[in-house]
Amino acid sequence: MPSFDAIARTFESATRTISLAGRTVLPVDTNPVPAEWEHITKIDPEEAKKLPLLFPLYLQHTGALEVGGSKDVTGQNTEETLELVSGRPRPAIQEPSGVRQVTERTREQADYFAVPQVLNGDTEAIVGTLGSGIEYLREELGPEYLDDKLPIPLGEGLERRVVSLFSAWTLQEAVFEAYIIMNLDSAAAREASVTEDDLLSPQEAKQRAMVAETVFESEIVYLEYSGTFGGEEAVEILEDVSDALSWSRLWYGGGLDSRENVEAVLEAGADAVVVGNVFHEIADEEADLCADAVEALSADATHGDIESWLSDECDVAETSAAEYLSTIPSLSNPTARAREYLVSTIEAALALEALRSELDGEVTSEAELATALDRRDELPGGIELSNVLGDDEQSFPRDLVAGLLAEDLDLDAEALPVEHISVA
Ligand SMILES: CC(C)=CCC/C(C)=C/CC/C(C)=C/CC/C(C)=C/COP(=O)(O)OP(=O)(O)O
Ligand SMILES: O=P(O)(O)OC[C@@H](O)CO
C-alpha cells in the first residue's frame, strides 16, 4: 500500500503539472494579477508626496493603486496612506521597499501584496531583503498575529507550525514583481545598488525576464525608469521582453505624462503602465491654485466664476491634472476632465475655507464638529465624492472634511490622516 507521503507527493506533482499547463499550453489565464489593469497609479506614502483633495475623482479612472516608494517609507505612513486610498475607489496593492513597512494593519488594508525582486541589482535586492522579510513574518508578525487572533495559546510546537503556515501563505498570496531598473538616477536604483555595469541590453533583459517567468514564477516583470521616460531604449527592451513572456504581466513605469508616451510603451508590448510622479504633482499644483483662489474669489463664487478664473490663471492642458489623465488610455478628452476636477477642487477649497470661518469658536469638540457637519445639506466636495464612491462610503466626505477642519479648529480628534492631503 502506498504511504501517505507517497500519496502526498503524487498529489503535489499532479497539481504542479496542471499549474504548469495553465501557464503554458492551456488557453487559460491563471495569473492572479488582473489582465484588465492597463493603468496603475503608484502612490508614495512619504509625507512630502501629497494626495489631491478630491483624489477619488482622479483615481476612478485607474485600474489599481500601488502604495509604496523607495525613500522615507514607514509602516506608519503606509498604514495612513492605505487608510485614505484603499478601495477609493480602486483596489490597493501594498509594495514594500523594506521589511518593517509590512504590518498586521497594512496586510488587512491592502487587497494585494506585491514583493519587489530586482533582476539587475545586488544580492540584497534579490534575496537579502526577502530573507529578512521571511524571518520577520515567522518570528515577529506571525506570532503577533496569532496572539491577536487566537483566544487561547496553542502550545509551542503547534504554534510554530501555524506561524510557518502563516508565513508561507503570505508569500503564496503575494505577487512578485521582477524589476529591471534602467534609470541610474532614481531612488529605486540607489536602493537596489544598480550601477552602470548592471544596465541591460534588450537581449539580456529578455533572458532575465524568462528566468523570472519560468523559474521565479514572478507574476509581474516590471521595466522601471522611475522619474524619467525610457524612450526608444525602453521600447526596444519591451519589444524583446514581451515576445518572451506568456504568463507574467509586463509593466512599464517611469516618466509617463502624456498619451503619446503611454501609447509608445503599450504598443511595444507592455500590458500595463505605472504612473507615479505626475499624480503627486496634481496635489502640489492644486495646493497653490487653491491658496490663490481663496485670496482672489469670494466664498459664493459660482462654478462659472471659478472656471473663468482658472482659465486666466493657467493653461489647463498643461497642468499635471491633464497630464495624469492623459496617461489613462481609455479616457477621452483628459483636458476637459482636468478642468472639471480642478474647478470642483477649487470650489471645495473655497467652501472648506468658508466653513472654517463659520465654525471657528462655535465648535469645541469632535462631537460638536460631527453634529455641525451632519446638519449641513452639502459638504465641500461632498457631491463629487459621493458620485464616485457610492452609498458604501457615505461617511467619507464628512470624515475628510472633519479631519481637515479639526486641526485648524484646535480640536483633539480621531481623524483621518489628512496630513497626506494637498490642502491640509
Ligand atoms: C516579505 C516581507 C515581509 C517583505 C518584503 C520586503 C522586500 C523583499 C522588499 C524589497 C526591497 C527591494 C528589493 C527594493 C528595491 C527598490 C524598489 C524596486 C523599489 C520600488 O520602486 P519605487 O519605490 O516605485 O521607486 P521610486 O521611489 O524610485 O519611485
Ligand atoms: O514616478 P514615475 O516616474 O511616474 O514612475 C512610476 C513608477 O515606475 C515608479 O516606481
Q: Is residue 106 in some structural domain?
A: yes
For all residues of the chain together, what is the average pLDDT? 95
Q: How confident is the model at residue 146 (pLDDT cuts 50, 70, 90)?
A: confident
Distance 403 CA to ligand 2 centre (A): 29
pLDDT at 153: 73
Residues 227, 188, single domain; the answer is yes
pLDDT at site 20: 85
Which tens digits make up the pLDDT trace of 227-270?
999 999 999 999 999 999 999 999 999 999 999 999 999 999 99
Which residue did the predictor score with more confidence, 290 or 10?
290
Q: Are 64 and 24 found together in one domain?
A: no
Residue 126 and residue 150 in one domain? yes
Q: Which of the ligands is closest to the CA of residue 185? A: 1
pLDDT at residue 169 tops 80: yes
Domain boundary among 275, 304, 329: 275
% of the chain beyond a pLDDT of 70: 100
Q: How confident is the model at residue 85 (pLDDT cuts 50, 70, 90)?
A: very high
In this prediction, residue 299 carries a pLDDT of 87
User: What pLDDT, on the 0 to 100 scale, is given for residue 150?
Assistant: 77
Asked whether the predicted pLDDT for residue 147 surpasses 90, the reply is no
- Contact at 8 Å (CB) between 372 and 359? yes
pLDDT band at 210 (very low <50, low <70, confident <90, very high): very high
Q: Alpha helices of 297-395 — where are they, by DSSP H? A: 303-313, 320-326, 334-359, 366-374, 382-389
Give the whole-angstrom CA distance, residue 400 versus residue 410.
16
Nearest protein Cα to ligand 2, atom 8: 253
Q: Residue 277 Cα, ligand 2 centroid: separation in angstroms?
A: 6
- Check residue 62 and give its pLDDT: 98
Report the candidate in 5, 33, 57, 42 with the shortest Cα–Cα distance to residue 331.
57
- Per the structure, the complete domain to which residue 50 belongs is given by 36-275
Question: Is the same domain home to 111 and 193?
Answer: yes
Closest CA to 38 of 205, 252, 229, 212: 252
- Nearest ligand (C-alpha, residue 116): 1
What is the Å distance from ligand 1's center to 79 Cα?
Answer: 16
Distance from chain centroid for Cα 103 = 16
DSSP 40: E
Q: Is residue 98 in contact with ligand 2, taking CB distance under 6 Å?
A: no
Give yes or no: residues 101 and 161 share one domain. Answer: yes
Of the residues 256, 275, 294, the one at which a domain ends: 275
Q: Assess whether 325 and 402 both reside in one domain.
A: yes
* Per-residue model confidence (pLDDT) at position 236: 98
Positive or negative: CA dihedral 109, 113, 117, 123: positive
Residues 144, 106, single domain; the answer is yes
Q: Nearest CA to 238 among 254, 258, 227, 222?
A: 222
pLDDT tier, 225 (very low <50, low <70, confident <90, very high otherwise): very high
Say yes or no: 220 and 291 in one domain. Answer: no
Residue 16 has pLDDT above 90, yes or no: no
Angstrom distances, CA of residue 186 to CA of 78, 191, 226:
20, 9, 6
| Beta carbon of 230 within 6 Å of any ligand 2 atom | no
Total number of domains in the chain: 3
Q: Which residues line ligand 1 (CB under 6 A)?
A: 42, 68-71, 96-97, 99, 102, 115-116, 118, 125, 129-130, 133-134, 136-137, 179, 186-188, 191-192, 226, 276
Please tell me the distance between residue 397's alpha carbon and the centre of ligand 2 in angstroms. 29
Residue 192 belongs to a domain: yes
CA distances from 169 to 14, 106, 145, 233 (A): 20, 16, 13, 38
Q: Which residue has the cell 492597463?
A: 38
Determine if the peptide bond prior to 34 is cis (ω within 30°): no
Residue 280 lies in a domain: no
Q: Which residues pair with 94 in a beta bridge?
A: 67, 113
What is 243-289 written as a DSSP string?
Answer: HH-SSSEEEEESS--SHHHHHHHHHTT-SEEEE-HHHHHHHHHHHHH
Tell whether 307 is covered by a domain. yes
Buried b / exposed e over 355-378, threshold 16 CB at 10 Å, is beeebeeebeebeebbebbeeeee
Amino acid at position 281, single letter: E
288-341 pLDDT, tens per residue? 999 999 999 998 899 999 999 999 999 999 999 999 999 999 999 999 999 999
Under 8 Å between Cβ of 364 and 389: no
Residues 269 and 212 in one domain: yes
366 part of a folded domain: yes
**Chain position carrying cell 508616451:** 261
CB 205 within 8 A of CB 241: yes
Our answer on whether the CB atom of 274 is closer than 6 Å to any ligand 2 atom is: yes
258 shares its domain with 322: no
Residue 250 sits in the same domain as residue 308: no
> Is residue 130 domain-shared with residue 187, that is, in the same domain?
yes
Residue 393 lies in a domain: yes
| Residue 127, in any domain of the structure | yes
- Asked if residue 151 is part of any domain, the answer here is yes
CA distance 389 to 371: 22
Residue of 104, 191, 281 to mutate, ligand 1, most atoms within 8 A of C-beta: 191
CATH of the domain at 192: 3.20.20.390
97 has pLDDT over 80: yes
**Domain end (from 243, 275, 307):** 275
The closest-lying atom of ligand 1 relative to the alpha carbon of residue 187 is 28
